[in-house]
Chains A and B, each alone.
Chain A
Amino acid sequence: MEGFLAAALVASIPLLIATIGEILTEKAGLLNLGVEGLMLLGAVMGFIAGYESGNPWAGLMGAFLAGCCGSLMFAILTISLRANQVVTGLTLTIFGAGFASFVGKDYIGLPVPALIRETFSPLALPVLSDIPLLGPVFFHQDVFIYGSYFLVIIICLYLYRTRFGLNLKAVGESAASADAAGVRISLYRYLHTVGGGGLCGLAGGYMSLVMMSVWVENVVAGRGWIAVALVIFAAWNPFKALGGAFLFGGLSILGFRMQSMGIHVSQYWIDMLPYAATILIIILSSRNNRKENQPPADLSVSYFREDR
């Protein structure tokens, strides 16, 4: 059981990081459906940076920057040129998939350097890892996972306790109101789209560098889309995203576990689970009528001050 939960946590991390990235983007009023593509960009560039330099931090940095670059393209198109966000996001996904296959062609099957594997091997935290059940699951993990705990806390504080978080919410809810109050709409939108995209890239980098530790094609395998759904499930709250990601992480590895326990269910059924659950969650959350749990009111609406 502990082993399963610990593995579920590992599987949930890329979902969590990407979901938080998309939450930041959507809070600013941009619907970036390119998460899948951004994760692939991060995965391939992170892997290449890590493989060529042998340095784990260079790998993560490469993944983050790749995500930033991808989302910067999205931001320029949708914020400055006011292109349709849905179409642009889908294009970004297709672009990311193609780019990752093309650039990663020569790396297929290559393993990550030993230093990287060592850096991201599980590390037991003193005292905390001795807590029964919780200890082995949450505090006997790799350093990236510890970092993502901090990330959730910091993003929550940022969103709910700082002025910038308040302004950001205003930008996403009613750009015209924020503008009239003197908030710099485009700046906020650019920063959070690019930052959020960077996190999506980082999530992809974690998949290729740590979870797989060899380069394989299409390493992200639809997790970007699950992250988009998780944003709705989490009602745009990073803290709730933690629970949602853990649930989906568990579903995604359920198949392996059941096989190793000798229970034979068709792999296809198991593979379907996360997506079936996604549909279920979308249905359930559509019945949620509290105003606070609704998407940002200006989501996917371009803002132009002199528009009438």
Chain B
Amino acid sequence: MEAVSAIEMRGISKAFGSIMANREVDLSVRWGEIHAILGENGAGKSTLVNMLSGIYRPDSGEIMIDGQVVEFASPASSIKNGIGMIHQHFKLVNVMTALENIMIGRRGGLLIRKKQWKQEIRDISDRYGLDIDPDKKVYNMSVGEKQTLEIIKVLHQGARILILDEPTAVLTPQEIRRLFQIVRNMKEQGCAIIIITHKLNEVMEISDRVTVLRQGQTVGTLTTADVQVGTLIERMVGKRLDLSIKRVDYPGERRPLLQVDGLTVRGQDQKIALEEINFDLYGGEILGIAGVAGSGQKEICETIAGLTRAEKGRIFFEGGNIIGKTPRDIIRLGIRMGFIPEDRLGMGLVGSMDIVHNIILKDYQNQPGIFLRRGPSQAKARTIVERLDIQTPGIHYPVKKLSGGNIQKVLLGREIDSDPKVLITAYPVRGLDIGASYKIYDLLNEQKYKGVGILFIGEDLDVLMSLCDRLMVFCAGRVAGTVDPREVSKEEIGWLMTGGKEQEPS
């Protein structure tokens, strides 16, 4: 028996200005299936599903839901057809409670009936194994909770087709495991699920079939059980890639560049965010920091960069204490920071300005006179674009209109270009595809080889363990241990992350 597909998209094209985001794309998703859409940054994955959610309208092509040809004039009509979209950047109102967020835009009586809704939410939660406090405000929620809320929201809207746009990009390993369990539950209930991702191990783990997109076109749909990772990469990137991360050796002499001594810092909420942190960062090494999100990673970056005041302790750079110096002084000393926050654009770059002006932002104070010199910065922008292979219509194109990966390359490229002595980089590959991630690992290794001391704050333990020379594990604002990643197992590090005892550096 040939069942009707949940989704049939045929010959879908969509252009933004002169850029073709989707060209004649086909997609077919069955009921009771987890379907992955795989592709690099800018391959057109988000564009494709945004046409399913009614945000964009296709220029040409046909969409069929459950055998019926449909046209979505707005998200409302997409919801009516049983499609629920979990956006990469959550569509939640921060000052509202979970319950209120679920109720937005819903039809029914004039008045708000909280009791009835709470019961309905509880029923859904029980059925799919979800958990949420309906009275909790969104601004108090963790990323994982927000995502759960989004899922409950679309389920409550009656969604039978669920689209998750890069759902794991900002989750911890534990949260990812929970999400996958939820997704499997939904599959058992007969829902159709689309997961957009560029993480291959996730595709292999969760999906039944996978559709690969490259440069806005469908490369093919494969049954996951029948394919090898290598095949997928080849389809996605268009060529074979070596997936091992190199650890280069620094030829010079090891000497400490940055010495952190007894550092204690309070966070924005006045709670202790870092307590008695001690470590040395050597030139020509990559020192990794691992830890559950919110263990003090942001505070250590900001304190070294001079953005947050230290309560207690000292930070020596080349023998002098830098605590109390202004961010500008610290930059002049050669300490550069690139912090990629969850929303990617929040720190370090001005979205509406182009690459040249974002470079001038850090350069202008070293220029003489009151007038800006664009010339050198333009040359610099061109070099960065070329060296890092940034996909942009030009160096005068607003940064926020670039894809996430390219934005991150601009940020990192600018910091590296200034020949820093210490480079602090937090989540530099957050949300990046394979090609771009490896480009960034190469860049870091290149800097290390030149003798730069690199503090690398990361999420992916596999990457941290193969890239870093030493790995410091943070747990609730303390250093739970410093280990040699060549000698410990992932489990041991995970144990430290969740509150193991202090261990001697090995």
Contact = CB atoms under 8 A, between A and B. Distances in A.
For chain A, which range describes its interface: under 10, 10 to 19, 20 to 34, or 35 or more residues? 20 to 34
A157 to B, nearest CB: 9
B105 interface: yes
A306 interface: yes
Interface stretch (A82-90, A163-171, A254-262): A163-171
Interface string B95-132: 11000110111101111100000000000000000000
A129 to B, nearest CB: 33
Interface in A131-173: 161-164, 166-167, 169-170, 173
B100 A166 contact: yes
Given A163-B109, A291-B139, A306 B91 contact: no
Interface stretch (B72-80, B231-239, B326-334): B72-80
B354 to A, nearest CB: 16
A183 B137 CA distance: 21
Given A162-B110, A167-B105, A170-B104, A177 B93 contact: yes
B55 interface: yes
Contact of A181 (B80, B91, B94, B139): B91
Contact of B79 (A162, A174, A182): A182
A176 interface: yes
A297 B92 CA distance: 12
B309 interface: no
A167 B106 CA distance: 9
A183 B105 contact: yes
B96 A181 contact: no
B76 A182 contact: yes
Chief secondary structure at chain B's binding surface:
loop
B371 interface: no
A177 B467 CA distance: 39
Contact of A294 (B80, B95, B109): B95
Contacts of B74: 179, 182, 184, 305
A177 B75 contact: no
A86 to B, nearest CB: 17
B112 A178 contact: no
A308 interface: yes
B91 A176 contact: yes
A28 to B, nearest CB: 14
A184 B111 CA distance: 19
Given A177-B91, A291-B94, A182 B112 contact: no
A178 B105 contact: yes
B95 A291 contact: yes
Interface in A181-198: 181-184
B105 A170 contact: yes
A292 interface: yes
A306 B80 CA distance: 20
Given A162-B110, A167-B105, A306 B100 contact: no
B16 A308 contact: yes
Given A182-B74, A184-B76, A169 B94 contact: no
Contact of A177 (B76, B92, B137, B401): B92
B104 A178 contact: yes
B87 interface: yes
B31 to A, nearest CB: 23
Nearest to A297: B94
Nearest to A181: B105
Nearest to B113: A163
A180 interface: yes
B289 interface: no
Given A181-B105, A181-B157, A182-B75, 4 more contacts: A166-B96, A167-B105, A173-B94, A179-B91
A180 B95 contact: no
Nearest to B92: A177
Nearest to B50: A306
B91 A180 contact: yes
B96 A173 contact: yes
B112 A174 contact: no
A169 to B, nearest CB: 7
B250 interface: no
Contacts of A177: 91-93, 101, 104
Interface of A: 161-164, 166-167, 169-170, 173-174, 176-184, 291-292, 294, 297, 305-306, 308
Contacts of B139: 291
A174 B92 contact: yes
Contacts of B92: 174, 177
Task: Kindly list the 9 A-B residue pairs having the minimum CB-CB distance in the complex, ordered from nearest.
Answer: A182-B76, A181-B105, A177-B91, A180-B91, A183-B105, A182-B105, A170-B104, A181-B104, A173-B93
Given A180-B75, A182-B76, A308-B16, A163 B106 contact: yes
B85 interface: yes
B207 interface: no
B110 A163 contact: yes
A162 B112 contact: yes
Contact of A170 (B93, B108, B137): B93
Q: Considering residues A163, A180, A297, A306, which has the most beta carbons from chain B within 10 angstroms of its beta carbon?
A: A180
A47 B103 CA distance: 44
Given A163-B112, A174-B94, A183 B104 contact: yes
Contacts of A183: 76, 104-105
B217 interface: no
B112 A166 contact: yes
Contacts of A179: 55, 74-75, 91
Contacts of B111: 161-163
A308 B407 CA distance: 14
A179 B104 CA distance: 10
B41 interface: no
A169 B93 contact: yes
Contacts of B56: 305-306
